[in-house]
Amino acid sequence: MNFKNSKELYKKGLVNLVGAVNSPVRAFSSVGGNPLFIKKAKGSKIIDVDGNVFIDLVVSYGPMILGHRHKSVEKAAKKALKNGYSFGASTENEIKLAKIVCDAFPEMDKVRFVNSGTEAVISGVRLARAFTGKDKIIKFSGCYHGHQDALLVAAGSGLATLSLPGSKGVPEGAVQNTLIAEYNNLESVKAHFEAHDDIAGVIIEPVGGNMGVVIPQNNFLKELKDYLKTKGALLIADEVMTGFRSKFGGAQEVLGVTADITCLGKVIGGGFPVGAYGARNEIMEQVAPLGAMYQAGTLSGNPIAMAGGIATLSELKKQNPYDKFEKIGNTIEVILLTAAKKYNVALVVNRFGSMMNPFFTKSKVTNFEEAQTSDTEKFAVFFWEMIKNGVFLPPSQFEAWFLNSAISDKDINVIAKATDKAMLAVSKI
C-alpha cells in the first residue's frame, strides 16, 4: 500500500496541530510510522487519503456500531440539519432519546445529556459526591475515564501507550481525593475503606476497554456492589465503551450488577459528539435545576446528536445484532489463536460481546499489571502488517477492537488472510 498523501498531510499538520493530531493515540507513537489520514467511510470500510480501503475494527472507538453512514442515521441527521444546528434551548428529540436510554437501563429514571464521555464522567463523579456528601473516589488501575484531572492517574491506554505515568499540569491537590485499586481485586477496595471514612463511591469500566479488553472475574462486580451498599457508597459504571455493545442496554445487566450512576457516550449519538449520565430519581434530583449540584452545557442535547442517537438506537433495537456479534467475535478469536499457534506466537485473546483484544503475552490478562506483560514490539509489527493487508486496527496494544453490524463474510476472509500474514511477520522478530 502507498501512504504518500498521509505522510504529506502529517508534515503539514505538524505546523498548526500538536503532533499533527487532536488525540494522542492517533499519533501512532506506540507502533511507529506516520498516522493515517482518513477521507471517508461506508459500511464496514474506511478509506484513507491515498485511496487504501480497510475493514474497520476501530469504528471511531465504538460508536459506529451499525457501520459507517448507515442510511437511517444519515437520513435523520440530514433532516435535523435542515431545522438548524444548535438552539441553546430544549427540543422534543431530547425527550425521545432520554426515554430510549432510560428504558434500556432498569435502574435509570432520569438522564442528563452532555457532549462527551469525559464530561459524563466528570458529572457522574460530582453527582456521587453531592449525593453522599463525601469526597473520595476509588478508581482502578488501567481504567480510563477521560482526561479530567481527578481521574488522570493509572489511566490505561493513552498513558500506557505513551509510557507516561500521569500528566503534567495535574496538581497534587486534584488527585488527593482519588484512590487507586486493582481491577478484579475486591480486597484492594476494602483496604481503602478501612483507611478512609469519606469515600463517596467507586468508578469502574464494567469491562476494561483501555487496557485492552479486561473482563471481571468470579462475580467481582456483584461482590463490589454488595460491599459498597454496606458502606453507603455508590457504584459508578463508566459504560462509555460498553454501553449497547453486548446487549441493548448496559454490560452491567449482562454481568448481573446494577450501578447507582451510569455514564454513557459514543454509541448513543450515532457517531456525533454526545455523552450522558443517569441514575434513579433520588440521585438525579440532586442535579440542577432540581437540586444543588450544578452542571450545564450550551451544546448539551444538540439536535443533530439527538437525531443521530434516536436513529442509531432505534435501528440497533430493530436489528438486534448481538447474536451476530457473538458469532463474528468468536470467529475472529479463533482466527487469531489459530494463526498464533501456527507460527508459535504467544497470544491471549480477551473478548466481551462486540469488543475484543489480542494480547501478545503468555499470561492470562485480568488486570492492568498483567496487560503490561504484553510485547508491544510484536504488536507494532502485527499492527502494520494488518494495515498493509487491509485491516484498520487501533494503533495501541491497550485499545479494544470493536465490531459493527455491517461486517460481512467477505470481510472476515480479509481479516483471516491478513492475520495469517501478520502472525508470520511477528514470528520472525
How many CA atoms lie within 13 Å of 262's alpha carbon, on the beta-carbon side?
31
Q: Which of 45, 139, 266, 378 is catalytic?
A: 266
Active site residue 61: no
Residue 153: per-residue pLDDT: 66
Q: Are residues 341 and 352 in the same domain?
A: yes
- CATH code, 53: 3.90.1150.10
Is there a contact between 156 and 171 (Cβ–Cβ < 8 Å)?
Answer: no
Mean pLDDT of each 10-residue bin along the chain, 429 residues long = 96 96 91 96 98 98 96 97 96 98 96 96 97 95 82 53 52 81 94 96 94 93 97 97 94 95 94 96 98 95 97 97 97 98 98 95 93 96 98 95 97 98 96
Q: Which of 319, 345, 378 is the last residue of a domain?
A: 319
Which of 265, 290, 319 terminates a domain? The answer is: 319
Q: Do 18 and 45 lie in a common domain?
A: yes
Set 48, 134, 136, 238: catalytic member = 238
Quick one: 104 and 24 in the same domain?
no
- Region of residue 68 (left: phi > 0; alpha: psi -120 to 50; beta: else): beta
Q: What is the pLDDT of residue 163?
A: 31
**173 and 91 fall within a common domain:** yes
315 shares a domain with 239: yes
Note whether 123 and 271 are same-domain residues.
yes
User: Would residue 144 show up in a list of annotated catalytic residues for this protein?
Assistant: yes
Looking at the structure, do residues 237 and 348 belong to the same domain, yes or no?
A: no
418 and 300 share one domain: no
| Interior angle at CA 396, CA 151 and CA 417, nearest 5 | 150
Stated pTM of the model: 0.93
Q: Which of 304, 319, 334 is the C-terminal boundary of a domain?
A: 319
Active site annotation includes 136: no
d(CA 328, CA 387) in angstroms, rounded, equals 20
**Is 36 in the same domain as 183?**
no
Q: The domain containing residue 367 runs over which residues?
A: 4-65+321-427
Q: Are residues 194 and 336 in the same domain?
A: no
Same domain, residue pair 154 and 296: yes
How many structural domains are present in the chain?
2
pLDDT at 150: 74
Residue 147: its pLDDT value, please? 80
Give the pLDDT score at 194: 95
Q: What is the pLDDT of residue 216?
A: 95
The single residue of 144, 183, 277, 322 carrying the catalytic annotation is 144
Q: What is the CATH number of the domain that holds 211?
A: 3.40.640.10
Whether residue 84 sits in one domain with residue 44 = no
